[in-house]
Amino acid sequence: MRANKIHRRKTKGVGLVESIVMAIVLIPVTLFFLDLIVLVLANSINDSACKNAARVAANQKTIEDAAPAAEKAVAAYSKNSIIRSLKLLTIDYDEANHTNVKVTTQLKVHMPIPFPGYSDFTFLARDVEPILVK
């Protein structure tokens, strides 16, 4: 009788093993996508800040008025544990011809779950707007 019995593998622990293997794969992929979302949002914030600073500067008559107005527009964006700094790098106001103003901003981001060797990223944005006030 014993020889006729077919010995089957026990399947009680298979579900647990599959769950652990999937978690080992799924958790790093999820964290990678979280970092990508943070990078996309940070780039969007930097572009928005640069565009707002250029628009505000384009509504001023002189560079003496444009620079503080652009600084104030950039300062309106709040810093947090992810956004380390957001600053106005350059402002090029064409005072001679009154044609356009060029603004460059820099945003430094600290990743919530850093890539190996890449915990901080720096984004630069540049925008050109026509000067509206003559």
pLDDT digit string, tens, across residues 115-126:
788 889 999 999
Answer whether 0.85 is exceeded by the pTM. Answer: no
CA distance 129 to 103: 9
Provide the pLDDT for residue 66: 94
The CA-based dihedral angle spanning residues 24, 29, 30, 36, taken in that order and rounded to the nearest 10 degrees = 160
Q: 23-60, pLDDT tens digit by residue? A: 899 999 999 999 999 999 999 999 999 999 999 999 99
